[in-house]
Structure 1
Amino acid sequence: MDDIPIAQRETPAVVPTSKFKKSYLIGGLAAVGTVALATGAFVSVQLQRSQISSASMASVVAKSGNATASPAPVASPASKNPVEDTVLGHYRYPEAPQSSLVPIVADGSIKMRKTAAKAYQEMEAAARRDGVILVPISGFRSLTDQNYLFFGKKAERGQATSERAKVSAPPGYSEHHTGYAIDIGDGNAPATHLSPAFENTAAFKWLKANAAFYSFELSFPEGNLQGVMYEPWHWRYVGDSHSLETFFKARPKK
């Protein structure tokens, strides 16, 4: 029996797990963990962005809703009709530059703007041909001149400011500053100069009928809206664009 050969079978040897396989497994698990963390972080960021976007959209919608719900602002009357630049019923006027003025009398004491001066002299000549003598009393006035006529005369006569303003404009607010205004008298009735009685003279009647042909008009007729005393002697030239804009551009419609 001892001589019977025993077939020898090859039993597979148990190979121990190598360090490589362990490292691979650990590395794989670590990679999976990293991917999971990255995925989680990405999802978290997207959720936060979504929440912020939703909040922003809600805010925009809310603001839009509020803007829609708010009534449209209504323009106040003041925005349509700017406050008038007036003092005691008189409008503000710029002082004409000296270079724009020319004399209308021989001694050069009374001046007007060139266009107004030419028109006045033509009007005076036409009146004389009709036997009427127009006399210029006052033309352009500086701020200094008007300061005396308003404040100086007011003090001399003991007038209240509101009363003085009915017959004279404060400095800076006189039509005479423009070089387009003129006070006219009757050479045959000097006692009526700068008086309401001037309306009874031949000069006033001629002016009333003919002044418009020379682009002159009465500045302060009876019952004028400015509340200035009736001045039949005070006329202004409105025969070109500049003079027209000077007197009427900024005035509100009545």
Structure 2
Amino acid sequence: MLHRIVALVLVLAPTVAEAQLCEGQSAAIAPDGRAFGHLPYGDAPESELVTLPSEYSVGNPCVVRADMLPDLLRLFAAAQGDPSVMGQLRALSCQRSIARQRSVFCRGETSSAADRAISVAPPGYSEHSTGYALDFAVRPANGCPDAEACMAATPAARWLRLNAPRFGFEQSFPGGNKQHVKWEPWHWRWVGASGSARGAPKARFVFARARRLYPADPGVVPLVVKFSAPPPLPTPVAPPPSRSKKKRR
């Protein structure tokens, strides 16, 4: 049943995305369902979205899946309390509907769709539309513009690499990724720190294909619990035979 659902998504999603590209432009869909290297994703239901408190975001309000919010808030609190961050981590861009992604993608219509897709996913092919992905920013920026590779050299970005996976976040597009998507050290998706975390099964289903074909780095790895075998019990020693004492007469 699961395989049929995945196949249906792959068949339908690219068709919808083609209709939503910029006027006069269409996406070339690869045999594996990708458009310009990006995998297809649907919109997050509005009923499952919540707004991050404004003190944790910059720019537009940050909207994310409700299941992701507790881990995101814990991540911000941990970063706030760690002097090695040397600044503040903030949410820059969170959930974007397919309609919103279209306006972002078509902003620079003077260039080709393929050129724009190097740094911006086409509508219907962005992890942001799922509500499980966001871009981080650092404040103060110290001369590094938002959503630029120079972020990777900041203490805050190094902190994310070391700590974000324990809050369920993984870096979707590491440098040299096999998906051939631009390296984005600011872009992270949530899949839950464990498969049993609330909402994690759904998030992991959404990103199952991406995680299987193009692993994140750093990524959230499955927890392997190893049990040590208890030491063997000592072999019982038989008591020595009793020697009866002869009675004196």
TM bracket (short chain)? 0.5 to 0.7
What is aligned with 1:136?
Answer: 91
Say if 2:76 is the partner of 1:124. yes
CA contact (8 A) 1:218 1:235 kept: yes
Q: How does 1:60-75 map to 2 (within 5 A)?
A: none
What is aligned with 1:14?
Answer: none
Instruction: State the Cα deviation string for residues 47-102 of structure 1 (Å, max 9, x = none).
Output: xxxxxxxxxxxxxxxxxxxxxxxxxxxxxxxxxxx942211111110100111011
State the TM-score, normalized to the length of structure 1. 0.63
Say if 2:158 is the partner of 1:205. yes
What is aligned with 1:173?
Answer: 125
Instruction: State the Cα deviation string for residues 206-225 of structure 1 (Å, max 9, x = none).
Output: 00110011010101100111
Say if 2:150 is the partner of 1:150. no
- Aligned residue among 112, 123, 134 for 1:182: 134
Letter paired with 1:138: S
- Aligned residue among 46, 56, 67 for 1:98: 46
What is aligned with 1:18?
Answer: none
Letter paired with 1:244: R
State the TM-score, normalized to the length of structure 2. 0.64
Letter paired with 2:135: D
Distance in structure 2 (CA, Å) of the matches to 1:250 and 1:118: 24
Relative to structure 2, which stretch is displaced further, 186-195 or 126-135? 186-195
What is aligned with 1:220?
Answer: 173
Instruction: State the Cα deviation string for residues 155-206 of structure 1 (Å, max 9, x = none).
Output: 2xx3222221110000011000000000001112163311000001111010
Higher helix share: 1
Residue aligned with 1:91, SS: coil
If you compute each CA radius of gyration, which structure gives the higher value, 1 or 2?
1
Distance in structure 2 (CA, Å) of the matches to 1:230 and 1:186: 17
Distance in structure 2 (CA, Å) of the matches to 1:193 and 1:213: 24
**Structure 1 unaligned spans of 5+:** 1-81
Residue aligned with 2:104, SS: helix
Cα offset for 1:249?
A: 4.0
Identity of aligned residues (%): 36
What is aligned with 1:114?
Answer: 66
Letter paired with 1:228: V
Distance in structure 2 (CA, Å) of the matches to 1:182 and 1:193: 13
Distance in structure 1 (CA, Å) of the matches to 2:75 and 2:173: 20
Residue aligned with 1:86, SS: coil
Letter paired with 1:87: A
Instruction: State the Cα deviation string for residues 140-160 of structure 1 (Å, max 9, x = none).
Output: 0011210011112x22xx322
Letter paired with 1:246: V
Residue aligned with 2:54, SS: coil
Instruction: State the Cα deviation string for residues 19-42 of structure 1 (Å, max 9, x = none).
Output: xxxxxxxxxxxxxxxxxxxxxxxx
Residue aligned with 2:181, SS: coil
CA contact (8 A) 1:182 1:236 kept: yes
**Structure 2 unaligned spans of 5+:** 1-10, 12-30, 193-199, 215-249
Letter paired with 2:178: L
